[in-house]
Amino acid sequence: MGAGEEPLTFQKSKSENPHDLAERKELTEYIRAAINDLPERCRLIFTLCKEEGLSHKEVAEKLDISTKTIENQITKAMKSLRAAVTRYQSLDMWAWGIFIFELLERIKI
């Protein structure tokens, strides 16, 4: 079967597009900032859950604190992440707004 004879027609996934890559990176920067802005303890708990894939109970045992505390801190971290996404989205809208505003200004003149 001549699978190797024809050139590949597959378009590389979206992230290969420099524009998309830039946008993705930008959102990741917002998320990174949001994580960095978390209080140290909250960040540590979130990191343990996220990167080591530990359950809330396992993190509670590891740090010797209650599961309730873990859950409160995780909720707090998740809310910060959501706020970062909202900020990112609204900023994107502002960028368009300012662009159109300037465009209209120019047309008027």
Partner 1 sequence: MSEDFYILLIQKQLSGNITPDENDQLKAWLSNSESNQKVYDDLLLAWDHLPIEKIESETDKEWQKLDAKIQKKNNTRTIRMAPILGIAASLLLLVSAFIWINNDKGVSVIAPQDGYVSTLPDGTSITLKKGSELAYSDDFNTNRTVQITGEALLNVTHNPERPFQVVGADITVTVLGTEFIFADGEKDNRANVQLIDGKVSVLSNSSKANYTLLPQEQYLLTPDTEKKVSSIKLKDYSWYQPNYEFDDVALSKVLDLISKYEGIKVTATEINSCRFTGNLTGMNLTQIVANISALYNADTKDGEGAYVIIGGDCQ
Instruction: Give the residues lining the site for partner 1 (CB under 8 A).
Output: 1-6, 8-10, 12-15, 20, 23-24, 27-28, 31-32, 35-37, 40, 43-44, 46-47, 49-51, 53, 55-56, 71, 74-75, 78-79, 81-82, 84-86, 89, 92-101, 104
* Least distance to partner 1, CB of residue 64, Å: 17
Distance CA 10, CA 57 (A): 45
Q: Which amino acid is at 108?
A: K
Angle, CA 31 vertex, CA 26 and CA 36 arms, to 5°:
125
Using the minimum distance from each CB to partner 1, give the nearer residue, 66 or 99.
99
* Least distance to partner 1, CB of residue 17, Å: 9
Distance CA 53, CA 28 (A): 20
The answer to whether the beta carbons of residues 48 and 54 sit under 8 Å apart is yes
* Least distance to partner 1, CB of residue 93, Å: 5
* Least distance to partner 1, CB of residue 30, Å: 8
